[in-house]
Amino acid sequence: MSLDAKTIAAITDRIQHAQDKVHTITKVTDEHPSMSIEDAYAVQDELRRSWIARGDRVTGLKAGLTSRAKMLQMGVNVPSFGIQMASMARPENSAIEMSGLIHPRVEAEIAFVLKNELKGKGLSIEQVIAATDYVIPAVEVIDSRYEKFKFDLVSVIADNSSSARYVTGGRPLDPQGLDLRTIGVVIEKNGEIQALGASAAVLNHPANAIVMLVDHLATRGECLPAGSFVMTGGITEAIPVARGDNIVARFQDMGSVSFRFI
Ligand code: OOG
Ligand code: MG
């Protein structure tokens, strides 16, 4: 860690204020150029502590910046992890309020739900699949608190990797019977295709996002317990949305996820 606890707490307050009051801020690294990735995850720890103290509940974790399309779009080439809370979850077919968001974008992702704990470094794809109860289509609504959606790796991690809302839907499926590299995905906005891709875009296989997340947790002495819900990252670039937009993400063999912005 390069920053002391007081500074981490101050950065957390600034980011949380921007998240709660729906406004942008300058990048945290502008003010703290020496801030490290470890410091940024310490900010996430503080955010989580504060959300739990308010009565919110952790519902899952996410890996982001795991596809080339996302890395190119954001100019960052290392995945960033984040925390999903109950307050961020929205039901399928719901109306998501724009008033709580700054400049949201949507991403189509494959989410995993574990039946067994995953722990340690260098797991294989097969170990991840064997520990998975089911996979399910998900759409993440990201909303960077940084001006113009521009950031570096440390800043985006401190902002909980732009997490804002998420919706799951479609059909939960046993991954044993699926080729998780070749799931085709189409994102439609108001009936028009905005982006399409195949699930191998995520680190050659979305289970690799779980491998990387479990590696990251291991360096912090943590693991993914049984029952964990994990989103593996946008397969295509993220699509900007506005009030009134209808979103449908179609996943080959897995069904679709729909909702709208009001
Ligand atoms: C960071 C979060 C990226 C994903 O799925 O790639 C992410 C961002 O692009 O703002 O959630
Ligand atoms: Mg995402």
Q: Which residues line ligand 1 (CB under 6 A)?
A: 62, 64-66, 70, 74, 80, 107, 109, 140, 142, 144, 156, 161-162, 233-234
Please tell me the distance from the alpha carbon of residue 185 to that of residue 254, in angstroms, as a whole number: 10
Identify residues whose C-beta is under 5 A from ligand 2, the ion.
Answer: 64, 107, 140, 234
Whether 190 has a pLDDT exceeding 90, the answer reads yes
Mean pLDDT of 193-208: 97
Length of the chain as a residue count: 262
Strand runs (DSSP E) across the chain, as ranges?
58-64, 80-85, 95-96, 105-114, 132-142, 163-168, 184-189, 192-198, 229-231, 239-240, 246-251, 255-261
Token duo for residue 182: 């070749």
pLDDT for res 251: 98
Q: How many CB atoms lie within 10 A of CB 258?
A: 17
pLDDT, mean of residues 79-89 = 98
- Report the pLDDT averaged over residues 69-89: 94
- pLDDT digit string, tens, across residues 228-254: 999 999 999 999 999 999 999 999 999
Query: For residue 1, what pLDDT band results from cuts at 50, 70 and 90?
Result: confident
What is the 3-class SS of 197-216, one letter each residue?
EEHHHECCCCHHHHHHHHHH
Residue 34's pLDDT band (boundaries 50, 70, 90)? very high
* Strand-pair partners of 63: 81
Cβ atoms 39, 8 nearer than 8 A: yes
- Residue 62: what pLDDT? 98
The pLDDT, as a whole number, for residue 139 is: 98
- Distance between start and end Cα atoms, the chain: 41
Domains of the chain in start order, with CATH, are: 57-261 (3.90.850.10)
pTM for this entry: 0.97
Q: Whose CA is nearest to atom 5 of ligand 1?
A: 233
Ligand that lies nearest to the alpha carbon of residue 202, given by its number in the listed order: 1
Q: What is the mean pLDDT of residues 139-168?
A: 98
Residue whose structure tokens are 């949305």: 241
Choice from 161, 166, 212, 213 to test ligand 1 binding pocket (greatest atom count within 8 A of CB): 161
